[in-house]
Every structure is written in structure tokens, then in C-alpha cells.
Amino acid sequence: MNSKLIGSLKLLATLAVAAFLTFMAVVGFGENKVFSASAIKKGLDLAGGVSITYETVEDDPDAEDMNDAIYKLQLRADAYSTEANVYKEGTRRITVEIPGVDDAEAILTDLGNPGALYFVYGAGNITPDSSKESGYRLSKTIDEIKEADQIVLNGNDIADAKAGTQEAQSFVGGREIVVQLFLNDVGSEKFAEGTAKSVGQQIAIVYDDEVISAPRVNSAITGGMAVITGMKNIEEADRLAATIRIGALPIELTEIRSNVVGAQLGQDAIKSSLIAGAVGFICLILFMICYYRVPGFSASLALVIYVGLMVFFLNVFNATLTLQGIAGIILSIGMAVDANVIIFQRMREELGKGLTVRSAMKNGFKKAFSAIFDGNVTTLIAALVLFIMAAGGVKGFATTLAIGIVLSMFTALVVTKFILRALYEIGLSNEKLYGIAKERRSIAFVKNSPKFAALSCVLITVGIVAMIVFGVKDGKALNYGLDFSGGTSLSVNFSDEYGRSMNAELEKLVSDTVSKTSQITKVSGENTYIIKTMEIDKDQRAKIVNALVDRYNVDESKIETVNISGSVSSEMRRHAIIAVVVAVICMLIYIWFRFKNFNFAASSVIALVHDVLIVLMLYAVVRISVGNSFIACMLTIVGYSINATIVIFDRIRENMAEKRKKETVTEIVDRSVTQTLSRSINTSLTTFVMVLSLVIFGVDAIREFAFPLMFGIVAGAFSSVCITGPLWHLMETRLLKHVEE
């Protein structure tokens, strides 16, 4: 069988796979369109879900207890979806919003079940059961155990629980994994009395009628602190500690309403976002084919396969897709394109040296591998840390990003190579079809670095000054949105049924009347809309109510208005910040290890901070709303920045290893940045076009995310080209007193 026939068969097979994946992503299988894009679980902003509002039984609940209840409900709601929102309404109400479900009754009991955690003693209360994870089950009901007065503790007696280690009590020694249990004053007294009665017996820890652990009591426990031993590993200890922590709510709640709500962004926003994505993707493919020719066609076909696989795996992993998840996909598409661009630029350089197309293809993939591998693995490390440590939308971002990174590496290094070889084998072997790069004269990036640094300092200073000025003037350095600072919620019942989505026009009405920041949600099955906006005073409230009455003839007496807290709690923010810091540290360590030079790691992190500060300046000056989209934007910029920087550092590392005679470190840095300049421009341009389409075709909520992201792409390109190389040079040759040879 000749090579032309083999190449034709390979190409036909690839086209068939691309067609199949496209069909699956667009149409799917069966009535439920399994594995299609429409079958992906979507968040509240894209598809809606269940909204449940609780009210405290107590008339004047303690503020600390309310915050604790919100946090614990958030952890419970996360079991249904990482994109769940929990926030306070007024002083006595808590609202839980869970995307992707439409049966409120199925989750009401679990979410609002105070006192669901019990510590039970008495030998006859549990029975061995190998089918249970703990190895035990209850042999009596909780009510029967309560009647027998055999409850040692309930969840309200627990102050905290966490996994830890202690010196092992066995003769072998060493350390063992345990769960540390901390009790409040009441719980300490009850536990001391209960354990005194139970020495030599087991105490069953019961959560929602399931025995989750049954430790044995060795002696009476006083002092308000105990440890649970026998943990198999740290994961088991973490799970048990987490279950104990969320096992009870500190206040009693009653459910006052539950609704199925529509998409927060509205169907118009979703439709316009899909159009924007399609336009951006088509522009991306056209650019790749026009600029890179045959390799560009192979990359475009590989990207089609990538998108199909992305849709498939989002379905397989049951990921919840939100605006932040879309940010992760945009970043991973940018990295997929970047991997192809790195390969093609390497191929052009090899052709410029006089190699044949076949040899250039082989060397191009070989030389591009380290940059692609290090860039993707570094970002993947960050995604995994965010997934493990963060919550809510940050976890959704990390999920889509991690899936995208793995797929982008596979499609770039395997699928693109397969298609390229097939195209070569069918006769597309003329080097003109691949492009030839001639070595450019090096640009003096190091020499001009003070000018670049001055520009960055000016922009960052503008941002700092703006935050100080607005902080003094308005009391808010940044324009915190609903997700962060809360606001006012209006429930409006329209007397007439409108046969259209009103999200966009209600958003405009609110914008024209009181605030440019709003969130509109329709209650499913009713002609009721929930309008959330920044906190408004009595006069502003009257203004928006009058506008609704005048335009839609609504009954003013049926408009319910309450103040709401931010859906991103202080605990979630703290977890997100800690997760990002840990992720950056892990990336720094990996870069240090791979490049065997701390200056590379330090320079990349400084450049990352630079890009974040530049975009923060935009938020401060333009007063863009800081909410969940802000978190998504910043995380995307972090991933984009680190990947772009590593590509340049990889070239510096390579050129340092192949140092020319009498070539200085300055010349190596300038040559390395110049060699990767086409890659930096093309990758930034393709990602910029993708995001620009969202700015042009998207609604305000989408633009609020896309515009600063677009600005961040420019900042990332600037820092990777103009800041990182010269910064590494400074650290390598000046700060550490190295001598150029």
C-alpha cells in the first residue's frame, strides 16, 4: 500500500471522527440529546435551577449564627452543584439557589435539617454492616435512641473538627492520622458525662440516620477536645471532619417558598454568547489557515475535534457549566492554539535552516514539546489546586480548565501531528505550503526594559490612586457587585403574560432607573421575575417601582422588596484567595524544578502579579462591577500569563544550553524573545479575537467579563514579551552578581 493511499485513509478517518464528534456535540443521541452541548449541566446563570428560601423560627437570630448557617448550607448545597449560591435576605431569611435541578421537594429536607448530627452511645444501637462505608448501621431509629436518652452530643455542641496527626499509641511508634474534635462549653460537659458511661464501648457518630464512624472510648474525655483514631488515610479523615463540621445548623429554619427559576443571564444572553463563540471560532480557523497554510488546516481540524471532545468530557464528568466555566474553556482553547502555533513556528525555523519538510516536521514537534509540556503542566497544577481547595464558581473554572488542558495537549501533540503527516503523505510536501522563517535581527528588549517598566509602573500607580480616591469618596476602592456586597431584591408579578424573555429589557429598565448592575431571573411556571440590583435607598426603590407600574401596569402591592447579602461569602473568598496563593506557590516550585533556576520561577510569578495589577487598574478606573466574573477573569489571566511566559523561558533555556561563541546573556535574551515574537503575537491575536467576539455580540453581563479579559490578554502579551525576559536577565546578571561571558 503506497504512502498516498495511507495518507488518504488517515485523512478520511480524521474527517469522519471530526464529523462524528461535531454531530454528537450539536445533535447528541436519543430524546435527551445525550453527550450534546445542550445536555451539559448548566449553572444558574445559563440554565436556572431551584431557589429555596428559609426563615428562622427565632424572631431575632444572632448574626453570627446566621453567617454560620449560611456557610454550612453552602457546603451542603455544594453536594448538588459546585455552582450553588447561598445568601441572606433581610435579617431572618436565607435563600439557596441550586442549578441543574428542577425538584425542590427532593432537596428541601437535606438542606434545612438542623440537628442532623448525633453522637450516640449504647451497645444495642448499632449493628455491623459490611455494605456501609463505616461498617455499621443503626439498629434503632434516632427517635427511639432519643427516648432512651442515649444521645451524647448533637451538631450544636460541636465547635470544629479537622484532620490531623498525632504520635501513634502503638509500640511501633511514628505518627497516625486522626480527626481532632473540638467542643463548645455545653458539649464539653455532655461529652465528659457521656464518655464516662461508655468506657470500653463504641460511640456511633450518626449523620442523617447513617453511621459515619463508630470509634471506641478508651477513657472519659474532658477538656472539650477529643481525637478519633483508626483513619485509613488523610482523605478519609478529611471527609469525616467535613461531615461533622456541616452536620448541624446552629439555628432552626422553616421553608417559606421554593421556586424553579430561569437562567439569570436570560435566553437572549445565551443565544448571543453562542453566536459570539461561533463567530470567534470561525475567525480563529480562518486566521490559522491563511497564516499557517497546510499546518493551519491541520490545527483547525484538530481544534474541531478538541471542541467535540470537550463537550463529550463535560458530559462524562457531569461538570456544571457557568460563565466562569466558559472562561476556563476560552483559556484552554487559547492554550490549544498556542501549542499548535509553537509547533508551526518551530517547523518554519527548521525549514529556514534548509531541512526537508519531513525533517522540519519531526524537529518542530520535538523542539516544541518542552515548552508545551511545561506550560500546560504548570497551568494544570494551578487548576488541580483550585479544584481541591476552592469552592463555588472557582471550582467550576478549575474543572473546565483541567479538562481543556489535557485535551489541548492531546490534540496538539497527537491529533495535529497525525493530520499533518496524512496531508504530507497525500502529496502536500512543497515547503511553500508550510512557510519558511528566516532568522530575524534581534530586537533590543533588554536595553529598552526601563521604558517598559516605567509604562507598567505608571499604569499600576494609576490603579492604586484610583482605588484610594474612590475608597475615600465612595467608601469602596472597587465597584463591588451583587455577588460580593449584596443588594436589593424585588419580586415582581406581572399581571399580563408576555410571550418573550424580559431579562434584557428589565435589565435596561433597572440600568436606566437606578443601577447599571442587575441580575434578572424568571420564576418557572409563573409570570414573576426576581430583580436583584445593588442596594438602593427608599427613593430609588420608589423610582424603580414607579417605572415598573408605568411601563407594565404591575400591581405595586404585590412587589416584594428585601435586602440580600452577597452570594460569595467571606469564607468562599478566603478559600479562593488561599487556593490561588497555594496554586502560585506550586507553579513557582514546578518552574524552579523544571528550569533548575530560581530566577525563572521568580520572574514568571512577578510577571503574573504584574498582569493582575494591570487588569485591577482597569476595574478601578472604569468601575467595572467586581463579582463572580471578576474571579473568572483574574484566574484566566493568571493561567494565560504563566503559559506565555514559560514559552519564552523555554527558548532562553535552550539558547543558553547552545550558547554561541562570545554571545552574552543580554544577546541570548534578546534573541530568544525575538524568536518567539511571532508566536506571542499570533497566540494573543487568536485569543483576543475569540474574546472580542463576546464583547461585540454579548449582552452586558457577558461584556462585563469579556472586556477586562481582553485587556488582560494584551497585558499578558506585553509582560511576556517586554517584561519577563529582561527581568530574568536583571536577576541573573545584576542582582546575583553573575558575570556575562
Predicted pLDDT of residue 741: 43
In a domain, 440, yes or no: no
Q: Which residue, of 214, 248, 282, is where some domain finishes?
A: 248
Q: Are residues 540 and 608 in the same domain?
A: no
* 260 domain residue, yes or no: no
Point out the domain boundary residue: 506, 532, 564: 564
Rounded-to-integer distance, Cα 245 and Cα 162, Å? 8
The grid coordinates of residue 267 equal 435566553
In a domain, 727, yes or no: yes
Percentage of the chain exceeding pLDDT 70:
88
Is the same domain home to 136 and 181? Answer: yes
**Does the residue 478 lie in any domain?**
no
494 in Cβ contact with 529 (< 8 Å): yes
Coarse DSSP helix, strand, coil percentages of the chain, rounded to the nearest 5 percent: 60, 15, 25
Q: CATH number of the domain that 240 lies in?
A: 3.30.1360
d(CA 500, CA 157): 51
Predicted confidence (pLDDT) at residue 326 exceeds the cutoff of 50: yes
CATH of the domain at 84: 3.30.70.3400
- Per-residue pLDDT at 740 exceeds 50: no
In a domain, 254, yes or no: no
Residue type, 636: T
Find which of 246-260, 317-331, 360-374 is predicted with most confidence, using mean pLDDT: 360-374
For residue 360, what pLDDT is reported?
Answer: 92
- Alpha carbons within 13 A on the beta-carbon side of 635: 38
pLDDT at 738 over 70: no
633-690 tens-digit pLDDT: 787 788 778 888 898 999 999 998 888 778 888 999 999 999 999 888 888 888 888 8
Report the pLDDT value the prediction gives residue 733, as an integer from 0 to 100: 83
Query: Are both 295 and 237 inside the same structural domain?
Result: no
Asked whether the predicted pLDDT for residue 113 surpasses 60, the reply is no
Cα-to-chain-centroid distance, residue 10: 37
Over 80: is that where the pLDDT of 312 sits?
yes
For residues 51 and 179, membership in a common domain is answered with no
Q: Is the pLDDT of residue 699 over 70?
A: no
Mean pLDDT of 718-725: 92
> Residue 443 has which C-alpha cell?
530586537
Least confident of 256-265, 343-352, 601-610, 682-691: 256-265
Statement: residue 499 has pLDDT above 60: no
Please determine, for residue 739, whether its predicted confidence score (pLDDT) is greater than 50: no
The pLDDT value given to residue 19: 93
Whether 203 and 309 map to the same domain: the answer is no
Question: Is 618 found in the same domain as 703?
Answer: yes
Best CA proximity match to 339, nearest among 360, 364, 314, 363: 364
Burial class (CB in 10 A: 0-12, 13-18, 19+), 165: middle
More confident residue, 327 or 660: 660
Q: Are residues 74 and 155 in the same domain?
A: no
Task: Say yes or no: 577 and 724 in one domain.
Answer: yes
How far is residue 624's CA from residue 701's CA, in Å, rounded to a whole number? 11
Whether 477 is in a domain gets the answer no
Domain limits for position 650? 449-463+569-735
Average pLDDT of the residues in 87-110? 73
**Shared-domain flag, residues 577 and 597:** yes
Q: Is residue 556 part of a domain?
A: yes
Residue type, 649: F
At 428, list the grid cell.
502536500
Structure confidence at residue 266 (pLDDT): 54
Of 215 and 557, more confident: 215
Domain count for the chain: 5
The fraction of the chain above a pLDDT of 90, given in percent, is 21
Residue written as cell 442587575? 518
Query: What nine digits make up the cell of 346?
Result: 518551530
To the nearest 10°, the Cα dihedral for 93, 97, 103, 106?
-60
Q: Residue 733 has what DSSP assignment?
A: I
From CA 158, how far away is CA 110, in angstroms rounded? 19
Indicate the pLDDT class of residue 170, thresholds 50, 70 and 90.
low
Q: Are residues 199 and 84 in the same domain?
A: no
* pLDDT > 60? residue 525: yes
State the alpha helices, DSSP H only, in 354-392: 357-389
pLDDT at 267 over 70: no
CATH code of the domain in which 552 resides: 3.30.70.100
Q: Taking 90 as the threshold, does the pLDDT of residue 458 lie above it?
A: yes
Residues 645 and 701 in one domain: yes
Q: Report the mean per-residue pLDDT for the chain.
A: 83
Q: For the segment 44-74, what is each residue's pLDDT rounded down to a tens digit? A: 667 667 878 888 878 888 887 888 788 778 7
Burial classification of residue 113, based on how many CB atoms lie within 10 Å of its CB (0-12 exposed, 13-18 middle, 19 or more buried): middle
| CATH code, 367 | 1.20.1640.10
- Show the cell assigned to 274: 453562542
Residue 381 lies in a domain: yes
Burial (Cβ within 10 Å: 0-12, 13-18, ≥19) of residue 649: buried
Kindly provide the residue ranges of all beta strands, DSSP E only, lying in 610-725, ordered along the sequence: none
Q: At what angle are helices 294-316 and 3-26 packed, to 10 degrees?
A: 40
Q: What is the pLDDT of residue 335?
A: 75
Radius of gyration of the chain (CA): 29
Same domain for 650 and 684: yes
Q: For 337-361, how does the pLDDT look when each residue is reduced to its tens digit (9 = 90+)?
A: 888 999 999 999 899 888 999 999 9
DSSP state of 732: I
